[in-house]
Structure 1
Amino acid sequence: MTWTIAGTLTVLPAAEHPELLAEPVAKAITDLDATRIGVAEIDPELADTAAFCEHYGSSLSASANCVVVLGKRGGEERLAACLVLATTRADVNGVLRKLLDVRKASFAPMDRAVEQSGMAYGGITPVGLPADWPLYIDAAVAAAPELVIGSGIRGSKLFVPGDLLAALPTAQVVDGLAR
């Protein structure tokens, strides 16, 4: 697959480069159409979206960020992930709070998100998340022909089409998830 959003990066088939992926991501890719997933090695210091896009010439509007959200209700905690375009923000206290059916929702503490996802902070991605986590994907992400997302580590990025992400086992496409 040719990736028009890769900027100066060389994109390789992700299934052939598990060393560039967090373990849960490498495992999850085996269950997906691997011909539609690319990976590119990057400088880990440039993993944050804005720095990545600026340095490698990739469009911010073609990048999506995955955030882990923690909601609480009646002493019960609920973790979920959401994926929104980098040019938007997830509506955590509106849409996500209602989807999780919790009184309060906020970004999960970094150490908990890292420990429970098995991925590095700044590299958490929807591919390979725990099977019991709901994954909420903004409709604009699902409709994107190609996106740059995390790979589970800070030293690479995945290149994927939005419809592949929308088809992940726990994914639910949500209109208005992002503002």
Structure 2
Amino acid sequence: MRPPLGTFDNAAPAAERLDLLTPPVAEAVAGGWGGFAADRIVYVDTDPAIADTAVFVEHHGPGLLDRPANCVVVAGKRGGEVTLAACVVLSRTPVDVNGAARRHLGARKASFAPMDTAVDETGMEYGGITPIGLPAAWPLLLDPAVADEEWVLIGSGRRRGKLIVPGKALAALPGAVLVEGLGI
């Protein structure tokens, strides 16, 4: 299969590679969502040693420079209550954790969630966390630029492998909200 973007040696419909995804991601991919069928999602096998965006783009070509998106877990705190959420921005922009994310969550303080918390709560590997298959109660904050991309390259739930997904499919995920200014 030829993926819709990038130069990858090993690509297949994600529905055929569920065994390579973490359980919450595999379940979400298999079920589809928001009118997006699983066959629209592509799995590409990648080397976990080059999972970090800059190295990944250097290895797989500059045509990917604007296509990767990062999914980070943030913790918003107000009083003694902590709200976990995921934020998705294009990789060329950082997440405005203390501005747009904090305000949207109604928190007094927001920060990146500790690695152990992010991994334990998502059931995914650190460095491969994806918005697909997140806990249903979590807010999923998306920068509108992500939804505007025809295709977006995101994590697969593991450091090995990536998913190529229509940007509009990410905006259709449960709990997804477009947040202006999330990516700065």
TM-based fold match above 0.5? yes
Aligned residues: 179
Runs of 4+ off more than 4 Å? none
Which residue is equivalent to 2:59?
55
Tell me by how many angstroms 1:77 deviates.
0.4
CA distances 1:61-105 after superposition (whole Å, capped 9, x unpaired): 100000000011010000000100000011110010001101000
RMSD across aligned positions (CA): 1.3
- How far apart are 1:46 and its partner, in Å? 1.0
Q: Percent identity between the aligned chains?
A: 55
| 1:95 partnered with 2:108 | no
Q: Gaps (5+ residues) in structure 1?
A: none
8 Å CA contact 1:148–1:158 kept in 2: the answer is yes
The CA deviation string for residues 27-77 of structure 1, in whole angstroms up to 9 with x for no partner, is: 011221112100011111111111111112251210000000001101000
Moved more, 112-121 or 167-176: 167-176
Q: If the length of structure 1 is used for normalisation, what is the TM-score?
A: 0.96
| Aligned mates of 2:83, 2:124 — CA distance in 1 | 19
Q: Secondary structure at the match of 2:66?
A: helix
Cα 1:82–1:60, aligned 2, differ >3 Å: closer, same or farther? Answer: same
Corresponding residue for residue 135 of structure 2: 130
- The match for 1:159 is 164
Q: Which amino acid aligns with 2:42?
A: G
In structure 2, stretches of 5+ residues that fail to align are none
Instruction: Please name the residue that 1:116 is paired with.
Output: 121
CA distance in 2 between counterparts of 1:28 and 1:149 reads: 15
Give yes or no for contact 2:100–2:180 (8 Å, CA) kept in 1.
Answer: no
